[in-house]
């Protein structure tokens, strides 16, 4: 009877020891058995014992090929390292996670000097949302079809939607806007399309959300003021100025060109051009300045031109007048030659009356 009791006690004791050993586990943090981590980021995993911490020894991390990760390994120490954070916690650190480092990593330790236990975690690499081609200022031209660019990269693939001035643009509900894979198409751009657009990228698998504010400013080609004269008179030998007036978005830049030889008047010795105001200034006007000149107004939306006829007024100058003798009561002709622009008329005094007569 006594012998049977001892045998039962021994069986129970052995079972208790085995049962106690199998309940001991390692804990990896973060807790998830599968973890998605962004490429290029620093990543930290920790491994520790849940219970009986003083009975654990020889903690180590193993890579996906079941090789021990060591800080003295010249091939891996710049990208993978281990660090003892507390007596019972061993960290695995990825300096900059790469796609090739995805896989299953295992933490192992020896319990009570005899039993090896382990726990594994799988690392999946993902591409965080990045903006490949999404300028934050974009400039469509009035009346054109324009794509507001927003090319996004992520892995898993993102969903992209759009908001304008805080209101969501719903796909398929407007003929004016068409959502494309790499941008928002605006059909027949109008000035009302000015505003702030938000390109929003969402990765449902990871819960990542990122937004890009894009300022859209509609550009308009230059148009000339209808009050701008088509003919301007200037006086030879004097200084003169001609102003070109146009509006556009952005404000146009100006140049003046001589029509007969395409000479840029800004390069002339006797003229200057203010590119911002459109004022052409001519010093010492010459008769060679007479003729057609063109104002060129240009901005990012286009270039327009307007012709101006420059008329040089030349002061009259008497070129030739000769004294003649004539018998009384006989008819004679006195010739007077003069130049000028426009062609001048000449007058001579008649007799002693002091009156002038045309000649």
Domains of the chain: 25-127 (2.60.40.10), 134-218 (2.60.40.10), 222-314 (2.60.40.10)
**Termini Cα distance of the chain:** 165
Least confident of 84-98, 108-122, 306-320: 306-320
pLDDT at 290: 95
Q: How far apart are CA 320 and CA 342, in angstroms?
A: 18
CB 48 within 8 A of CB 86: yes
Both structure tokens of 242: 């001609």
> Do you find a cis peptide bond into 36, omega within 30 degrees of 0?
no
Give the dihedral of Cα atoms 229, 233, 234, 236; nearest 10 deg.
Answer: 160
163 pLDDT band, cuts 50/70/90, is very high
- What average pLDDT does the segment 118-127 reach? 94
14 pLDDT band, cuts 50/70/90, is very low
Of 76-80, 202-206, 213-217, 349-353, the range with the highest mean pLDDT is 213-217
- With a cut of 90, say whether residue 11 has pLDDT above it: no
Q: How far apart are CA 326 and CA 335, in angstroms?
A: 14
Angle at 185 between CA 183 and CA 191, to 5 degrees: 120
pTM value is 0.64
């Amino acid at each position: 009877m006594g012998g049977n009791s001892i045998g039962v006690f021994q069986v129970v004791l052995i079972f208790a020891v085995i049962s106690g050993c199998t309940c001991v586990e390692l804990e990896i943090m973060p807790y998830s058995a599968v973890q998605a981590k962004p490429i290029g980021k620093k990543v930290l995993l920790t491994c520790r014992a849940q219970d009986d911490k003083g009975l654990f020894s020889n903690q180590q991390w193993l890579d996906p090929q079941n090789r021990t990760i060591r800080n003295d390994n010249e091939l891996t120490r710049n990208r993978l390292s281990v660090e003892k954070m507390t007596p019972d916690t061993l960290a695995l650190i990825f300096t900059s996670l790469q796609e090739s480092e995805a896989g299953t990593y295992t933490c192992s330790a020896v319990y009570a000097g005899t039993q090896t236990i382990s726990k594994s975690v799988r690392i999946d690499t993902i591409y965080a949302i990045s903006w490949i081609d999404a300028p934050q200022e974009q400039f469509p031209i009035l009346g054109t079809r324009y794509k507001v660019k927003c090319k996004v990269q992520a892995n898993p693939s993102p969903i992209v939607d759009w908001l304008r001035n805080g209101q969501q643009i719903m796909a398929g509900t407007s003929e004016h806007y068409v959502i494309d894979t790499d941008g928002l198409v605006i059909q027949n751009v109008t000035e009302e399309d000015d505003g702030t657009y938000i390109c929003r990228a969402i990765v449902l698998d990871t819960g990542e959300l990122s937004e890009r504010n894009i300022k859209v400013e509609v550009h308009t080609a230059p148009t000339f003021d209808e009050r701008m004269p088509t003919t301007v008179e200037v006086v030879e030998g004097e200084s003169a100025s001609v102003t070109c007036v146009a509006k556009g978005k952005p404000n146009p830049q100006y140049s003046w060109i001589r029509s007969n030889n395409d000479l840029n008047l800004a390069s002339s010795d006797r003229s200057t051009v203010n590119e911002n105001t459109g004022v052409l200034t001519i010093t010492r006007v010459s008769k060679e300045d007479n003729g057609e000149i063109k104002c060129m107004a240009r901005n990012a939306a286009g270039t327009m031109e307007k012709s101006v006829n420059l008329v040089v007024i030349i002061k009259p100058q008497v070129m030739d007048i000769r004294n003649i003798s004539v018998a009384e009561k006989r008819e004679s002709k006195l010739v007077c030659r003069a130049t000028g622009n426009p062609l001048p008329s000449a007058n001579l005094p008649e007799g002693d009356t002091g009156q002038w007569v045309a000649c």
